[in-house]
Every structure is written in C-alpha cells, then in structure tokens.
Amino acid sequence: MSEETIDTLKPGVADQDGSPNAPVSSATQSGSSPAQRAWRRFKKNHPALLSAWYLALLLIVIVAWPVALKIIPATGPHGSAWAKAYAPEELSDAQFQSPSPQHWFGTDEHGRDVLSRVLYGAQISLLVGFVGASVSLVIGVLWGSIAGLAGGRTDSVMMRIVDVLYSLPSIIFVVVLITTLGQKLKQMPFVRHSPGIEHELRLMILFVGLGAISWLTMARIVRGQVLSLRTRQFVDASRTLGASPVRILFRHIIPNVFGVVIVYLTLTVPSIVLYESFLSFLGLGVQPPMASWGSLISEGVDQINPIRVYWWMIVFPGGVLVSTLLALNFLGDGLRDAWDVKGS
C-alpha cells in the first residue's frame, strides 16, 4: 500500500544510528549569529522566498474570506444576497457553471461557488496538515529525546515500540481510529449538549490520527540527533554542573534539535495533506457538506473522462493544492538549506 502511508522525512540524513552526517546548528563561528546568517541565506533562495510570500497571502485570504462572508450580510439585503451566493454550503440553481466574473472558479453540481469551497477547504486541509504535523512533532520529539537521553534499557524499549508500530500498516490503524472514535463521539454527553462541537471533534480525530501515524520517523530522527548531541561538550558541562535531565532536555537538547525539526515540519505537512486527500477518496475524510481540498479533488476526479469535462472542478482545487504543497516544499527546502551550516 503505497501512498497510503505517510513518508514524512527522509531517513539517512540523521538516521537511527546517529550517523555523523546529522546537520547540527553550530554556534562555533564568531560574528553574526547563526540565525542572522541563516536568514540571509534564506533570502537569497528565490523559490523559497516566493513560496513564503505565497503562503502568507494564502493564509490571509483564507482567514479573511469567511470573516468577510460573516460581516458583509450586516450591510443590508444586497450584502446578504451576495454572501448567500458565495456561501460554500449554500446550494443554488446554477449548476456546473463555467468560470465567470460572478464565479471565478465556476460552480459545482449543487450550484455552490467553487472558489469559496476551495478557500474553506483550504482552512480544513491546512489545519489538518499543521495540527497533524504538530501532533506528530510533539510526540516524536518527546519520544525521541527521552529515548536518546535516557539511553540503555529505556531507549531500547522505547525504540522497540517504535519498531513494532512501524511495522503495522497504517491504514488499518487509521480506519479503526476514525470509525471507532467517530462512533464513541456520538455517545459522549458533552457532544449532545453542544452539537456544534462534533464537527470540530471529528476533525480533531482526523488530525490526531494522521499525526499519530507520522510521529515514528520523527522520533527516530530526533533520537539520532540527540544521540549525537549528547556527546557534545555543553551537555556534559551541564550535567557536571548538576542540571537535571529534564532541564537538559528543555534547555539544551530541544533548542538544538529545533532547527531540524521545524524544517521537517514543513515537509511533513504536504505529506499529511496528501494523505487526507487519499482518505477523502476512500470516504473517510471530512464529512459532507464540509469541503477539504482532498474531498474537492476526489469529487473533481470524475471530470477526467472522455465524454465531457467540467474542467474547473478539478483544475482549480487541484491547482491550488499542488501549488500550496510545492510552496511548502520549497519553503522547507529553503529553511533547511539556510540552517545547514555545512557550506553552500
């Protein structure tokens, strides 16, 4: 099962044996701080810079659009009608309209404005991606750091657990998680009281599920990093000075690992977003009538046929997804190149 697993990070750069190739931000040179040097390097990387701008713009639009749709109706009936035409879940009679000045991205089978759905879908997809990646980040970093620092028996046991989980086909776990928690959710009392919460909770399950299957590689990498870091002098110095392991963890290890980790975060998000689109293809993603890029694309895929193509149904959601994923990758690459002190 190929795309059905999340391959988040490339092993090998800082692999499980803690090979000496692990890039480490070093503070050995005098003069401008590593952060400043990294920033300068980053600015020279045009694709990365462009991507950063694109993502920032996207973020602004994604946040502003729903707000606009909420505020504008307050300006009167004209505004209300306008907001109604562009509400992402409001059906209309204008089925399958091709792109026009009224509907830049056209409309879909139910007469809904595709641009609006793409923007709302962006919220979901990016949220899923970032929160999922963050979940994997938190679990992975903690797990890997603790294993790496503790060493010995604890390390062994913790990494064995990672081995076992790694050998499970993730789709089984995802299906079980989504179906089981989805059901249990209904029965929880607080869901009955505040019904709106259920959507959010269902999304949360999605994030947690996706994050939970991608933390493994993160843990391995972080452990590798930690293993190579702990032999370094400043850690020894700390220990000699009597710092507790927790303190060492938070003050020394994690900030040093941070750089690598942030980079991999931006590279994990695309992976998770793609996996969400696969789940939508299976019918396990976000619930209708909510949209995510994945669900929009799996609806649009039907348009790839030899009879009649309503091209805007696949080109726009697909195009936005692909450009955003490209941008995230360029950004991640750029960050990694900038942080990597080994030279140009």
Residues near other proteins (CB under 8 A): 1-5, 7, 10-13, 15, 17, 21, 90-91, 95, 109-110, 163-164, 166-169, 171-173, 175-176, 179-180, 183, 195, 198, 270, 274, 277-278, 281-284, 287-289, 294, 297-299, 301-308, 310, 314, 318, 321-322, 325-326, 329-330, 342-343
By beta-carbon proximity to other proteins, the closer residue of 101 and 189 is 189
- 223 to 137, 226, 342: CA distances (angstroms): 13, 5, 21
Q: How far is the CB of 10 from other proteins (least distance, A)?
A: 5
112, β-bridge pairs: none
Q: How far is the CB of 340 from other proteins (least distance, A)?
A: 9
By beta-carbon proximity to other proteins, the closer residue of 236 and 302 is 302
Q: How far apart are CA 249 and CA 243, in angstroms?
A: 10
If DSSP codes are grouped into helix, strand and coil, which group holds residue 107? Answer: strand
3-state SS of 253-299? HHHHHHHHHHHHHHHHHHHHHHHHHHHHHHCCCCCCCCCCHHHHHHH
Q: How far is the CB of 249 from other proteins (least distance, A)?
A: 27
Q: How far is the CB of 12 from other proteins (least distance, A)?
A: 3
Q: How far apart are CA 303 and CA 278, in angstroms?
A: 17
CA nearest to 304, candidates 318, 293, 292, 288:
318
DSSP 241: T
By beta-carbon proximity to other proteins, the closer residue of 10 and 251 is 10
By beta-carbon proximity to other proteins, the closer residue of 30 and 183 is 183
Q: How far apart are CA 11 and CA 245, in angstroms?
A: 27
DSSP 30-58: -SS-HHHHHHHHHHH-HHHHHHHHHHHHH
Q: How far is the CB of 18 from other proteins (least distance, A)?
A: 12
Q: How far apart are CA 302 and CA 272, in angstroms?
A: 23
By beta-carbon proximity to other proteins, the closer residue of 160 and 251 is 160
Q: How far is the CB of 196 from other proteins (least distance, A)?
A: 9
By beta-carbon proximity to other proteins, the closer residue of 145 and 298 is 298
Q: How far is the CB of 61 from other proteins (least distance, A)?
A: 20
Other beta carbons within 10 Å of 271: 23
Q: How far apart are CA 66 and CA 121, in angstroms?
A: 11
By beta-carbon proximity to other proteins, the closer residue of 77 and 196 is 196
